[in-house]
Amino acid sequence: MFLPELSIRRPVLATVMSLVIVLLGAISFLRLSVREYPKIATPVVWSRTGCTGDSAQVIESQVTQPLED
């Protein structure tokens, strides 16, 4: 029971010790090395569909949507 008794008898010392621990933790956190993240290329597929004379709704529902699925 050394630390609780010391903290009761000397509250300023306990506060300073707590602040030092928090400060050391913050400095250590800022100095942590971060591993480089790998470059990830998200896959992208381009497709162009069309039929002459059809409306946009027909092309979307009968041509483009089945291709996407």
Q: Is the pLDDT of residue 36 over 90?
A: no
Per-residue confidence at 47, pLDDT binned at 50, 70, 90? confident
Q: Is the pLDDT of residue 50 over 70?
A: no
Q: Classify residue 25: in a domain, yes or no.
A: yes
- pLDDT per residue over 11-21, tens digit each? 999 999 999 99
Q: Classify residue 2: in a domain, yes or no.
A: yes
Q: Is the pLDDT of residue 1 over 80?
A: no
Q: Classify residue 12: in a domain, yes or no.
A: yes
Query: Which residues span the domain enclosing 23?
Result: 1-33
The count of structural domains within the chain is 1
Name the residue among 68, 25, 21, 69 with its Cα closest to residue 48.
Answer: 68
pLDDT of 21: 97
Query: Do 39 and 59 form a contact (C-beta atoms < 8 A)?
Result: no
State the Cα torsion 42-45-46-50 to the nearest 10°: -150
Q: Is the pLDDT of residue 35 over 80?
A: no
